[in-house]
Amino acid sequence: MFVSFDIHSEIKPYQVKIGKNLLETTFKGVDDSIFLCDSFFASRLAPVGRPVIAVDATEYAKSLDRMSEVIIRLRESGATRNTNLVAIGGGVIQDVATFCASIYMRGISWKYLPTTLLGMVDSCIGGKSAVNVGPYKNIVGNFYPPDEILIDPDLCGTLPIEQKVAGLCEAAKICYARGEDAFARYLALHPSADLENIDLSQLIELSLRSKKWFIEVDEFDRNERLLLNFGHTFGHAIEGAAKFAVSHGVAVGVGMLAAMHYARLAGNQAFPQTAITLATHIRGLLAHIDGLGAVLAGTTEQDLFDRFAADKKHTATAYTIVGIDQAGRLQRLALPRSPESENIIKETFRALRHPGFLSVAE
């Protein structure tokens, strides 16, 4: 199966291709290319005969002070304005590539081959970079999409279970945000943590086409696209408080459950069946992450809240989250910076640190 479709962008249009053996195909015709890759792939690139910049894909690799190292390596590798940067890796590599390609000599062309399921179903399109500065996660960044995105689902076969769960949590979120039809089609593919008996090409295409709608109506995060932050405000706090022992996609999964728990506390509301199905599905995925409950229990309520309060999406007078209403629809909420809001947020964090949080139905 080979699928190709375009993403319309005010910056520049770009193309998504989904098929087999795209990694090997990219190795051909790379006369003026430089590779930026996860260190895991460095040995596979050695025979290509082009410069390779290998990065240990940790959260700390995408800090602002590390970007200068990549820029220097690009210059030392002979990169010019006509050089094509080929990025191979997961979300960290994508953030580094997006940011560095956009500023090196005021911008060079680049293409991206995501190697994680989360990258394939979500972050590869949209053109955003997110870079950490000091203790502040994703506090700077920009928009600079690649010219081409090449997705080979076969690369998912060797992923650890946590990365599979992380990708499915994000795909479920995107399809749920797009509407009941997209979410029903997602569930009809029988997504499971082991990725067995799933047509990954179909799942990836469904998730990306669902996200494509948000990108094309709101490329620069002013309105509709912000709904895709569902689970992220709580999730980013969880990532940081857990010292990144919880991966981004898994933290977003827990964050979605936290956002729903907040909604229940704030409005004492019952959720419709679609929202209950989402929560049940996410809990089923998270059940495959050994030790997750212990990691959450090892955080502190105050640290979680402080990190939540520092999120870049907030305003001076309100905490901004994506919540869920009684009809199960996602909605942007501006929670006043009041003792009442803070008490409910802290109660939510208190709940998610409880051993039973991941197994209790809404």
Structural domain span for residue 314: 219-352
Q: Which of 107, 125, 158 is the last residue of a domain?
A: 158
Please indicate, yes or no, whether residues 110 and 248 belong to a single structural domain of this protein.
no
pLDDT (tens digit, 9 = 90+) per residue, 147-205? 999 999 999 988 999 999 999 999 999 999 999 999 999 999 999 999 988 999 999 99
- Residues recorded for the chain: 362
CATH number of the domain within which 322 lies:
1.20.1090.10
Asked which of 158, 173, 189 is the last residue of a domain, the reply is: 158
Last residue of a domain, one of 141, 158, 175: 158
Statement to judge: residues 23 and 152 lie in one domain: yes
Q: What's residue 286's pLDDT?
A: 98
Residues of the chain with pLDDT under 50: none
Q: Are 130 and 242 in the same domain?
A: no
Q: Is residue 224 domain-resident?
A: yes
Residue 56 belongs to domain with CATH number: 3.40.50.1970
Number of domains in the chain: 2
- Say if pTM beats, i.e. exceeds, 0.85: yes
Q: Are residues 14 and 152 in the same domain?
A: yes
Beta bridge partners of 332: 322
- The reply to whether 12 and 154 lie within a common domain is yes
